Structure 1
Amino acid sequence: MAGRRRWTTDEILDVAAELLRTSATESFSVRRVAAALGTDSSSLYRHFRSKTELLRALADRVLLAAMEDHRPEGDWKQRITALALLVRDAFSRQPQLAGAWARYVSGGNGSRMVMEEVLEALGSSGLPDEEIPGHYHRIAFLIASLIAFEAGGGTVPPEEREQGRELFRVAVLGADPERFPAVARFARDLSPLQTDHQAAFESILAAHLARIEAAVRAG
């Protein structure tokens, strides 16, 4: 009798990534990955002990691929901004994993490479060493939150997205000016949250980095 095929970690991750592209994270499971491979779950548990561990590995592989060709350039703010946009672009191609990355965090080499770049950039900013970890955590939280929020909108079907925009227009333009005077005042200038994500991403990150720069100068 022929022995059961042994799947490599990369083969499992390839199939799992493809499965995630066509299904929601909530319905994703080790059992479904095993079924797609034509095997049973027990053969996969030698590589990944749980769905969470598998999602962490997938998210870390996204980070690792993004960082392979990354070359730091510019000052510390330019380095962090370039890194944030690189990670944002990487997860935009598989938005289902962005939420998993923000929720579970990864601990592989991809994650370490991102941490190393942010910490090195902050180290060249003029911040005292004892303040760098705190700033790193706030930057990581900000980037992960923004990417996960944007990814959540990216997984919504086009017809549902358009329906949401229409509901937004009705809610804003139809607001009673006596009850909602501020909404009525700015109605024609307000946009749904799904509008121009990159500009919002860059401006929010830039404002945060500017605060760090101001603190360095004041210090």
Structure 2
Amino acid sequence: MTERVVAPAARQRRRPTKQGVVLSEELIVATALRLIEEHGAEALSVRRLGRALGADPSSLYRYFRHTDDLMLAVADELIGRTLRIWRPTGDWRADLRDLGLRIHTGALAHPRAAVLSSHRVTGRAHEIQAVETIIGVLRDGGFPDAEAVRIYHAFIDQALAFAALDSADRVLPKAARDAEAAVWRATYARLPADTHPHIAATARHLMADMRHSSYPAALDLLLGATAARLDEFRAQESPGRSH
């Protein structure tokens, strides 16, 4: 797509496409998401999308100005899919842990799209809702405003970084993934204790642990440190604290 702007009021297509469907932003985004998982970044072309939708490619400009605009909509849709299935409980730590794991799981369900979009800032409705929700969880949990923003930043960057990292691994060809997994057995497990004592002592744990994502452990470490910070703030606010 190239830069081209159509007024929002003129975007809605009333007539069905050749395949008998009425175009909408939601349909285009869902189709783009499916094509990305099948073909990668090259799926985001008006020609390929037009064929998949049974529509004239030029009609897509009624909804998106260019491919990057569409990519931001895809990124925002991934956020929205996570938010739709997440329900807060009122326990800030449990809520953030659940949300973080859902972000990660949602990325792995659409790994090619996650690799392309995890680093993007969309400024769209679902992302705005996510920022509002997470900061609200932290403020309601008792964190001062500046600290709530600092923790939000660390929390979301950690979640999205692992989403991109683990998604990139997920889209590797199976042969490449198997070859990398074998390195822990073929190389690290065989290093001698006289030259690599620490690796040799922990080799069996390395082989067991390195096969899995470290995101749940990293998330727990972050939340543990965050809880400790909250205890510090509460201690400072206690009227009986020593000076």
TM over 0.5, shorter chain: yes
Q: With the length of structure 2 as denominator, give the TM-score of the two structures.
A: 0.77
Extract structure 1 runs of 4+ deviating beyond 6 A. Answer: none
- Equivalent residue in structure 1 for 2:102, among 73, 86, 92: 86
1:204 maps to 218
Task: Flag the 1:24–1:177 CA change in 2: closer, same or farther, 3 A.
Answer: farther
3-state SS of the aligned residue for 2:207? coil
Note if contact 1:56-1:100 (Cα within 8 Å) is conserved in structure 2: no
Task: Flag the 1:159–1:193 CA change in 2: closer, same or farther, 3 A.
Answer: farther
Tell me whether 1:45 sits opposite 2:47 in the alignment. no
Moved more, 185-194 or 147-156: 185-194
Task: State the distance in 1 between where 2:35 and 2:89 align.
Answer: 36
Offset at 1:169? Answer: 1.9
The aligned amino acid for 2:44 is S
The aligned amino acid for 2:191 is A
Task: Flag the 1:34–1:137 CA change in 2: closer, same or farther, 3 A.
Answer: same
| Structure 1 unaligned blocks of 5 or more | none
Larger Rg computed on CA atoms: 2
Task: State the distance in 2 between where 1:185 and 1:209 align.
Answer: 29
Offset at 1:161? Answer: 1.6
Q: For this pair of structures, how many residues does the alignment match? A: 214
Offset at 1:39? Answer: 4.5
1:128-147 alignment runs, 5 A limit:
128-147=144-163
3-state SS of the aligned residue for 1:127? coil
| Structure 2 unaligned blocks of 5 or more | 1-14, 234-243
Q: Percent identity?
A: 23
The RMSD of aligned alpha carbons is 2.5
1:30 maps to 45
Task: Flag the 1:61–1:186 CA change in 2: closer, same or farther, 3 A.
Answer: same
